[in-house]
Amino acid sequence: MEKSMVHVNPLQDSQNLTIRDAKNADLTALVALEQRCFATDRLSKRSFSYWIKAKHRVFMVATQDEQIIGYGLVIMRKGTRLARLYSIAIDKVVEGKGVGRQLLLALEAQTVAAGKLFLRLEVEKTNERAIGLYQSMGYVIFGDYQHYYENNGDAFRMQKPIRQAAKHNQLPSYPWYAQTTDFTCGPAALMMAMASLSEDTVMEQPLEFDLWREATTIFMMAGHGGCHPLGLALAAEKRGFKVKVYINQPLPLFTSGVRQQVKKNTVEIIEQQFQLRVQQQKIPVVYADFDLNALKHALKDGCKVLSLISTYQMDGYKVPHWVAITAIDDECLYLHDPSVPEQHAAGFDCQHIPVALDDFIKLSSYGKTKLRTALVICKADVKEL
């Protein structure tokens, strides 16, 4: 929802400019500044109050002679190296004095200090001045959204590797789908992979539920069961794709969190059925840790990769969760997450999420048994997996 009144010229009176963290005493001035700067897409007093108190953010104000003349808010996704410039506003009275540039540099520095690698933003396509500033500071356009703002305006998506001197990595085009229930992350991730391989795949709820019925273990710790890697592999193979499965331990996989013996027995029977059917369909299963280099080569060869992760690093809950790996480079691995976890997050916050390679080793290890599993999914005409 980034909004912008930023300007390119150097600051003419920098000795009077102070940039500091936002505090509760700023609330009234922030609301007044928001009212002056924007006619639509305004942050409310309640929102400002929330973000001043929030932990996973960088919230700074620019002051001149103790008067607030600008603010910038960056929000961060837990467990990843991605941050997003959620909103930035500069008062018109300091128009053309470079306050926006100084404020953005300060926001970037604090965001890097918080351990983030990338900063993303959205900017209205008609805001040429702001776009020019962002480009001059190293931000690259990598997507757009139609009718993004309340005034029906379109937005560019921009990104900068704020802790990297390397050139911006071009992210691949990859469809994204938001799971519609708490328990269909596996089907949603598989749908994204299939849709990226075949235009015939329609990412809609009926397919999401079909895949879940075919791949679920029925029971988990609580509520509906999640999807088993062998179940997802069978569902993909049924729809004409070639699949290879990596599992770093023998079955059963998900019984440790199931307390009732009758439920454990059910899960074990379902896993045995999956295993038998996988053998019958001659789907290759490697009972060993997957190699990130092997997954990287699979992506380069046009295949798609799903991985099970633990959400503990992201939301504090130890829940198994399926994601699609969209790209891997020398420093990061990128994820399409089908879940939109926070009330202030949006769908594009869940796309191409950069995760440092070392962080992913922890992220992709689930439960006491340190389960790690992944699927490589390819078109049917691939000769060998």
pLDDT of residue 168: 41
* The pairing of beta strand 285-286 with beta strand 242-247: parallel
Q: Would you place residue 12 in the very low, low, confident or very high pLDDT band (cuts 50, 70, 90)?
A: very low
Task: Read off the tokens for 164.
Answer: 């990297």
Measured in whole angstroms, the distance separating CA 95 from the mean position of its chain's CA atoms is 34
pLDDT tens string 292-304: 999 999 999 999 9
pLDDT of residue 15: 53
260: left (phi over 0), alpha (psi -120 to 50) or beta: beta
Number of residues that this document lists for the chain: 385
pLDDT tens string 314-351: 665 668 899 999 999 888 899 999 998 665 556 777 88
Q: Which residue has the higher pLDDT, 249 or 3?
A: 249
pTM (predicted TM-score): 0.75
Domains in the chain with CATH codes: 14-161 (3.40.630.30), 185-378 (3.90.70.10)
Beta bridge partners of 68: 63
Q: Would you place residue 170 in the very low, low, confident or very high pLDDT band (cuts 50, 70, 90)?
A: low
Give dist(CA 351, CA 241) in Å, integer: 23
Mean pLDDT of the chain: 87
Q: Which residue has the higher pLDDT, 211 or 3?
A: 211
Cβ atoms within 10 Å, residue 147: 10
Give dist(CA 71, CA 334) in Å, integer: 30
pLDDT tens string 25-81: 999 999 999 999 988 889 999 999 999 999 999 999 999 988 999 999 999 988 888
Angle between helical axes of 261-280 and 229-238 (0-180°, round to 10):
40
pLDDT of residue 25: 96
Give dist(CA 121, CA 133) in Å, integer: 13
pLDDT of residue 276: 97
Residue with tokens 């691949």: 172
